[in-house]
Amino acid sequence: MATLSMPTAVAAASSWGSELLLALESGASPQPPLAAARQRAARALADRPLPSRRQEAWRFTDIAPLLAITPAQLPPATTVPATLPSVTPGVVRLVLDGHGDPLAGVSMPAGIEAIPAADLEALLQESSTDRGEDRGANGASNHAAARAGSEAPWSGLLAAATAGQILALRVRGVVEPTLELVSDAASAEGVMPLRLLLILEPEARLELLQVHRASAASLTTVLLEARLGAGARLSHGLIAQGGGAAVLLADLAVEQDPDSHYAFTSVVAGWALSRLEPRVLQSGGGATTRLRSLQRVDGRQIADQHSQVRFEGPEGELDQLHKVIADGAGRSVFNGAVAVPRAAQRTDAVQLSRSLLLSDRARIDTKPQLEIVADDVKCAHGATVSRLQSEELFYLQSRGIAAANASRLLLRGYCGEVLRELPAAATIWQPLAMVLAEEAPRP
């Protein structure tokens, strides 16, 4: 993977973005409620410089793999990919390709309904991402993140400007089955833009599993906006399995009302470039956020996660753990921003970044970023970068376990702390084999 010089990278990025937007303008018309929103996002995107290492948020991330993607939308899938595993009991699966209606022919469980076009249009009118602002999911403009003038991530804007379809769902009560959202670009080349909107009414319960896969020179862009009403609970897993020159850009904007609970666990491996940006706004205090993430990089892969959590009321909680396995000449980037303004007294926030280096050529950049103004809080952070412990390896080998198997056992234990928090429905996707690059059959 070639690394572009700074001026060349900036010029190439500008050209790539313009070509993509022009290609989409000449393609199929977007879903009616989405047309105006896409135009707003395209205007905001045109005013925003494309990512480069001149920007602090992209300083450690080489976008050369992105610029190698053909700037044209993937064609509609004619069939469900044959490589998908069978749907397990207790799971409702929706297959996304950026074109067709994923709800067609699917019997949705009690408690989940599509948001009507009229309501959706009003929600999208307020969307902050479409305007390049960061207001929290569902676009409530009175939130402090907007007043602070922060910007929505470029990746979210790109998804909003290119998505021709949106899956918009409202959740009421307790939904028993796991909702599984799957995209698989397989060996196709081009761009697959996906946009999702979830509204959880007060006291609603939902378990959600996202799965994104690709194995060729394609770009999967994802914008997910979720609003959790008071007392709602969302257990959210994401498995992203890449291969070859595939690129993933995912922006997840979640807004939590008081007493809500959001648990997000992500597992990412195999992409030439991946960037995951979970953004959480606790809008009224008293909410709980639990974030777990695991990345694996090898070869010359780049895995980047920039998370943001902002507390806007008292007595909010955050428990965040980010783990990395870096091998070959891979590069991992983590930036964890936590904002605790004066209104967020008695916040309890813990953030830990733990990274394993398996190669002298791999590189890990990790940056906890806590901004604390409130004076009555419990906030802690830590970051470690280490290798497999020689004492543990020696102990296992002294019991007759070969060196390679001993290393694999330790890596399995290292991964398990995150993997066990995925929804049970994740098992068929073999996340451990994916992360450790084990010889397991691809489902």
Interval 43-65: pLDDT, tens? 888 888 888 888 989 999 999 99
List residues bridging with 318 in a β-sheet. Answer: 289, 349
Pairwise CA distance, residues 219 & 79, whole Å: 20
Q: Is residue 74 helix, strand or coil?
A: coil
* Residue of 360, 409, 361, 369 lying closest to 389 (CA atoms): 409
Do residues 112 and 169 make contact, with C-beta atoms less than 8 angstroms apart? Answer: yes
* Rounded Cα distance, 207 and 190, in Å: 31
- Please compute the mean of the pLDDT values over residues 373-378 and round it to a whole number: 92
DSSP 325-360: EE-TT-EEEEEEEEEE-TT-TT-EEEEEEEEEE--S
Report the C-alpha gap between 306 and 323 in whole angstroms.
13
Average pLDDT, the chain: 88
Both tokens of 44, joined, read 């905001």
Closest CA to 412 of 296, 265, 275: 296
The domain tally of the chain equals 1
Rg (CA), the chain: 21
pLDDT for 144: 30
On whether residue 393 sits in a domain, the answer given is no
Asked if residue 34 is part of any domain, the answer here is: yes
pLDDT tens digits, 217-258: 999 999 999 999 999 999 999 999 999 999 999 999 999 999
The residue whose two tokens read 């690394």 is 3
Mean pLDDT throughout 340-345?
Answer: 95
Does the predicted TM-score (pTM) go above 0.75? yes
Count of Cβ atoms closer than 10 Å to residue 49 Cβ: 12
Q: Give the pLDDT band of residue 293 (cuts 50, 70, 90).
A: very high
Strand partners, 333: 304, 365
* Contact (CB, 8 A) for 374 and 344: yes
- Give the pLDDT confidence of 86-105 residue by residue, as tens digits: 999 999 999 999 988 999 99
Look up residue 389 and give its two tokens. 């412990």
Cα–Cα distance measured from residue 311 to residue 52, given in angstroms and rounded to the nearest whole number: 29
Helix (H, G, I), strand (E, B) or coil at 287: coil
Q: Are 320 and 352 in contact (CB under 8 A)?
A: yes
- Coil, helix or strand for 229? coil
Domain presence at residue 433: no
In a domain, 275, yes or no: yes
Element (H, E) at 156: helix 154-162
pLDDT tens digits for 121-146?
888 877 666 656 554 433 333 333 33
Does a structural domain hold residue 400? no
Say if CB 65 and CB 272 are below 8 A apart: yes
The answer as to whether 430 is a domain residue is no
Phi, psi (deg, nearest 5) at residue 442: -70, 125
- Separation of alpha carbons 71 and 107, rounded Å: 35
**Cα-Cα-Cα-Cα dihedral sign, residues 14, 16, 19, 20:** negative
State the pairing for strand pair 348-357/363-372. unpaired
CA 380 – CA 344 distance, rounded (Å): 15
E strand or H helix at 32: helix 32-47
Q: Residues near 139 by Cβ (< 8 Å), separated by ≥ 6?
A: 123, 126, 127, 128, 129, 130, 225
| 238: enclosing H helix or E strand | strand 233-241
pLDDT of 84 higher than 80: yes
Task: Show the domain range for 54.
Answer: 6-75+88-388
Q: For residue 422, what are the CA distances in angstroms to 254, 265, 267? A: 18, 6, 9
Over residues 411-416, mean pLDDT:
95
Torsion, Cα 368 369 374 377, to 10 degrees, reads: 0
